[in-house]
């Protein structure tokens, strides 16, 4: 540990009995912490979207990276638990969040273990079968794979696949607006634009929060091994969210997850 209290890596660390070095163990701990911070800040940036702020690039960048890192860490922990080794670099070379989600479900989560508790059973069903989650992760995945340099690709006439994820996201918001009576009513009153965005963001944030919670619950309630249980403090922000708090956490307060009001709060 460094003098400022943060984790540091000892480059000369000896291998542990499992075949994993202390350096690797510390690096994984830092990566989990980084993933959680990216998700927290990303959700805060998403909550800040309103009539005066349409900078979607930042939450896309933060959330896509945060979910990618967290799921890759889970794969590493599960492999370490099963074999005493971490996966090779080539096994984790992907930005495809949907593929990573499917891999986490198939490699890291035992259906039998998940079905022992109502909470993890619901988590499993959500990760496997929720179409809204698949659509959100699909857009974030497209951003990570194709759209980070969309404008420059247009400028330079790039012929590689490119996607305008912001346009797709706005289409998704419009569909939510048309499907929700309260949102539809708010959209007709120009004086309540901020309330409209707050309510809209709450719906989207709650779905992403629920996925983050489902993932981190596997650290303590799943089959990732004893090592995963030592990460409780790092993942507590999402681990401790109750159903009633989904969509109501103020991620703008990065020093601590505090409750925020709903459409009228």
List, in sequence order, every beta strand (DSSP E) within 192-238.
none
State pLDDT tens for residues 162-210.
Answer: 778 899 999 999 999 899 888 888 888 888 888 899 999 999 999 999 9
Residue 14 has pLDDT above 50, yes or no: no
In Å, the largest CA–CA distance within the chain is 65
DSSP state string for 35-85: HHHHHHHHHHHHHT-BTTB---HHHHHHHHHHHHHHHHHHHHHHHHHHHSS
Residue 21, φ and ψ in degrees, nearest 5: -80, 160
To the nearest whole percent, how much of the chain has pLDDT over 90? 69
Q: What is the DSSP letter of 117?
A: S
State pLDDT tens for residues 111-144.
Answer: 999 999 999 999 999 999 999 999 999 999 988 7
pTM (2 decimals)? 0.85
Q: What's the pLDDT band for 1 if we cut at 50, 70, 90? A: very low
State pLDDT tens for residues 56-103.
Answer: 999 999 999 999 999 999 999 999 999 999 999 999 999 999 999 999
Please give the mean pLDDT across all residues of the chain.
Answer: 87
Supply 197's token pair: 């965005």
Give buried/exposed letters for 10-47 (b at 16+ CB in 10 A, else e): eeeeeeeeeebbebbbbebbeebbbbbbbbbbbbbbbb
Residue 223 has pLDDT above 80, yes or no: yes
Residues 6+ apart with CB under 8 A from 69: 31, 32, 34, 35, 38
Residue 263 has pLDDT above 50, yes or no: no
Q: How far is CA 87 from CA 17, 78, 92, 95, in A?
A: 17, 10, 8, 16
| Helix %, strand %, coil % of the chain (to 5) | 65, 5, 30
According to the model, what pLDDT value does residue 12 have?
Answer: 42
């Amino acid at each position: 540990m460094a003098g400022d209290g943060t984790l540091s890596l000892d480059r000369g660390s000896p291998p542990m009995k499992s075949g994993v070095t202390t350096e690797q163990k510390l690096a994984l701990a830092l990566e989990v912490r980084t993933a959680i911070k990216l998700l927290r800040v990303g959700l805060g940036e998403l909550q800040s979207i309103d009539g005066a702020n349409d900078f979607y690039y930042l939450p896309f960048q933060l959330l896509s990276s945060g979910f990618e890192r967290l799921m890759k860490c889970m794969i590493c922990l599960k492999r370490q638990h099963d074999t005493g080794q971490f996966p090779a670099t080539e096994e984790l070379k992907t930005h495809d969040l949907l593929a990573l989600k499917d891999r986490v479900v198939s490699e890291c989560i035992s259906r039998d273990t998940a079905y022992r508790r109502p909470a993890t059973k619901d988590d499993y069903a959500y990760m496997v079968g929720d179409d809204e989650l698949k659509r959100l992760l699909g857009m974030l995945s497209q951003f990570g794979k194709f759209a980070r340099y969309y404008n420059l690709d247009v400028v330079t006439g790039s012929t590689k696949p490119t996607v305008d994820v912001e346009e797709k996201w706005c289409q998704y918001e419009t569909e939510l607006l048309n499907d929700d009576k309260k949102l539809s009513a708010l959209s007709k009153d120009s004086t309540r634009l901020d309330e409209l965005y707050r309510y809209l963001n709450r719906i989207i944030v709650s779905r992403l929060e629920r996925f983050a919670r489902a993932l981190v619950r596997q650290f303590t309630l799943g089959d990732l091994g004893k090592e995963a249980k030592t990460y409780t403090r790092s993942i507590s922000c999402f681990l401790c969210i109750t159903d009633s708090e989904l969509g109501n956490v103020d991620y703008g307060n990065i020093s601590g997850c505090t409750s925020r009001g709903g459409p009228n709060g």
